[in-house]
Structure 1
């Protein structure tokens, strides 16, 4: 069932639900596809559905965990060695591996969101001081942007359209 941002909710709850709606849409778009379809490069740069999910997992851990000095756990890529490694699914990585990584990233991000106040500050990878509020807005935008990419890739794979599961 589609989550709705509360029309009169508290700011933190509203921001968190907005983020969750897009996270859920990304995962819904993967349903019913086989491993080949999830890994199929759909653009000249090699973008594929699982690669986008892997990238989003890394972004959630980076922004919600590293920014606020919290442990991320192991990352399945090394951006220092290859700046595109978070977008690429390696042959040894299973679909389950990527989905488990994204679930772990979401859980870690959700923990940070629950425990911090919107005005709590952290330091981003670029050295900027940012608030949890800013990170929530940034990550909602990031996930929504990539959910749009996922929409297009899914339609190219099997014609599936729609932005949220309506059932």
Structure 2
């Protein structure tokens, strides 16, 4: 019996868009799987000098998703977006009501909104960007894969340092 294929493997001969979407979703799954099952205390534990914590990674990536898909791609006014949509230092800060469960729930909802927004654009569709001049959906996908994978790696190391868990 052969091992079932992962979603990103099932698109090995897919279109560019299918590959980009599958790999971004893969990294999204990795980050939430890596922190799943942690205690609230451990999810907030700082083991590096920065604000980086397992729970903070989820909160930050939620803000980054909002930034690139809601602010940049959909061109929504930041005042109309619930929660941090800048991905700045404040996006790492945990409030007293932030639980790992609620942070993952909000992250999943924001990722679903990102998918919905992206579905209305072609990879070559460009939108204005204050910093970049313009940005295409293709670039946003590539950037979000890089950003999410980087932080999934951070979560992997933090988890091992905090409770010794490795792998998924």
Instruction: Provide closer, same or farther for how the CA distance between residues 16 and 78 of structure 1 changes in structure 2, counting only shifts above 3 A.
Output: closer
TM-score (norm 1): 0.86
1:4 to 8, 26, 42: 8
Instruction: Provide closer, same or farther for how the CA distance between residues 21 and 130 of structure 1 changes in structure 2, counting only shifts above 3 A.
Output: same
**Matched residues, number:** 160
Structure number with higher helix proportion: 2
Query: Which segments of 5 or more consecutive residues in structure 1 lack a partner in the other structure?
Result: none
For the residues of structure 2 that align with 1:11 and 1:109, how far apart are their CA atoms? 18
Query: Which segments of 5 or more consecutive residues in structure 2 lack a partner in the other structure?
Result: none
Moved over 6 A (4+): none
Alpha carbon RMSD of aligned pairs, Å?
2.1
2:98 aligns with 93
**Deviation of residue 142 (structure 1)?**
0.4
**Which gives a bigger RCO, structure 1 or 2 (Cα 8 Å, sep 6+)?**
1
For the residues of structure 2 that align with 1:50 and 1:144, how far apart are their CA atoms? 16
2:128 to 92, 98, 123: 123
**Deviation of residue 128 (structure 1)?**
2.6
TM-score (norm 2): 0.86
- Is the 1:122–1:129 Cα contact (8 Å) retained in structure 2? yes
